[in-house]
Structure 1
Amino acid sequence: MDRVDIVRDIVSTKELAVIEQDNILVSKSNKKLNNIIKYSVKKAQEVIGEENIYKEYLIENKDSIIKTNTINTDVDTIEEAMVIINQVDFRYIFGFDVALEEIFQCKFVNRERRISCAFETLEESNGWVENERRKYSEKEISILSYERFGMYVIEMVIKGGDTEAWISYSKNRNKYLYIVGDKSKDRYSVTITFDVLDLYQIFTNNDIKKAIEELSELLGIRIKEIEAIKDKYEKCRDFLRSNLNKDRFLILCELIGEHMSKLETVLNEGLEKLYYHEKSNNNWVFSSSMEYLSVKMYKSKSAVNPVINTFSLLGFIEKPDVNSGKYTKWNRNDITYFSIPEYNEELFLKAEEIAKVMLYNGKRVTASSFSYSTCKEKFGEGIANSIFKDKVTKAKAS
């Protein structure tokens, strides 16, 4: 079954589900269609490469694109921005010199046919592959083989030539679409459709979040929820720089003064990932791996971990439970989610008291030597478990 047949079957299933008001099946169909689009975007990125005529047009004509396409508006959410972005005629962003509905050759989506077979023996599967290779010797072929339920499974993709495409405006979806397929009357079919966000990902080799960010900037769309996060982090950074000194918070400065740049690195990471935030329990959170943060801090991961956990104890960062409930070989729990509270006098006064306990209440514990056991000893098991989440998750999995 080729891609056209696959899409047609999913769409038919979805249409029937809509009629029968089967919301679960509609949701499953939408998910399958979205996965096909994601796969098609990735494949198109591979075909067209990082340097291409559409990206070149965007870069060389950026000033004129801004001048003629700027919307200059404010919206509340990213979702609202996406709706507006999709209403823009992307022909003038990427340099498509074609009329609406005009047929032209698509250079980044190839025709392809998919064949899946299962065999009882490895010899049978190898023999079939060799026969198919000879049959399609002039075609580009990719093969995936694996064992499942005692059978040898082969998945083969046979790639063809360029496809036809046209650009259309969908009144129902309220967006411009780049449609790949066959427009002839007797065999009309749609292989895949791309909107401006899909095309931006393909031509600039970026993901959807970056596409939204850069198109919003290009079109003059300001997103209030993004601006609010940015404003909050910048105020936190300013408050940190103005108040973490020996005159104001002597003990706190003794504990983390030398590590202030590491806390700023976390704040800066949040600023760099504004469009990668997600909501968790009504708070905005962003994720980063400890390995990545340690590289940015020019320190080893083992040196950074206890300092980050100290920041968490002090209340300067929070580590909410987002996708961290399981520890498997596919999820080593290296990704940490961060939420940044508001930095103010009250927070720093509380942190000063915690710093006194760390340094002067019993055994002296520095930020660099902070561990699960020292945290448990000084602040109790509950606090320790809330900060050292990876240790708790691993313990549950063992």
Structure 2
Amino acid sequence: MASFQKYKTTKGEMWMFKTNLGINHQTGKIKYITRRGFKTKREAQLEASKFLQQVATGKGILDKSLLFTTLIDQWFEQYKLSGVKKSTILNRQTTAIPNLKKYLGQYPLGKITPIVYQEFLNQLFDLNYSTSTIETLNIVGKLIFKYAYENDLIDRNPAKNAVVPKKVATIEELKSKSLEELYLTKKELITFLNYIKLNTTTLDYSIFLTLAYTGIRIGELLALQWEDIDFVYETISISKTLFRNENRIKEYELTPPKTKKSSRIILVDKVVLEQLSYMLFEQERIKKEFPAYHDKQFVFAKLRGDLSGYPESRRAVGFRLKRYLQKLGISKSLTLHKFRHTHVSLLAEAGVDLQAIQERIGHEDSKTMRKVYLHVTKEVNKQAVEKFGQLMKE
């Protein structure tokens, strides 16, 4: 049963209602709920009736004293059962959750307002956290508060309209920032591959040649097994990706690819297949010398030492990419992920349309890929406009 009371404010008289929800089993005391700010008694009565009906159906009981760190743990247990990839779960566990707990963990839910949450994002910006890290934290924060709202733990989502702060680029930075920093040109790629072929290992040359000629993700490449390579029909079948926890070489798992479109069969150039054929020959030779070879038929397996046969380390490949670029004097800060843009740019230069490129690299859509494609085909598009203009003048 609710009670109603008139009270005075600087704006005039208002109405409120107060009701109890029974005994709080943790404190042994009666738990009261108060709602204020109604212009008339009738408004207060209608809201009280609505609230009590929600309580009767298990809704409307908001636990604003619950600590955010406890909510995070509750959400994460449910999140792990939602079918997301293990690599995504690991990313949330190692990056987003520790930072959310560090800065907001000890706040009761009722104290995290939209202003408090926005100030949290602004604080990360002031502490020079990268934009991508802040965006990741914001994504996870929104997921957690959405979970709390849908489970009637809060009555509004404080992260709903939050904005990730971003640095305003200077004119000099805008001038120096070029899309060509995202990929290697044809000339640079040829120089890069020739250097690796002559100065490094068979494994490294095979890895970077295949990445450059196929545009597949590094996780997809490391998961390839010989049954995925069809030397007759000249194709590679991509149906899995390699997942490792904390880069432990012997502890790996083959998981489904990133998206539905990531599962695909692509045609491969003969130069790649010839190199892979040589890799297969090398592996068979090494297996005879090392009986302890981890023979799970991985294409890009380590060829030396006690870890022979295990898929190569993603981190090690990324480190060597950076080192080889430095040795060649190529100052572009390419990562293995950005290395895919090289394949996109060269396909665009060869006249392949955007949809065909998307299907080949297994990407539903990407703003960066579109920018690279449009940048590379800019001259072709310019010629098309000029031809149209000329046609209209005739």
Q: Which has the greater radius of gyration? A: 2
Superposed pair shares fold, TM > 0.5: no
Q: Which has the higher strand share?
A: 1
- TM-score normalized by the length of structure 1: 0.24
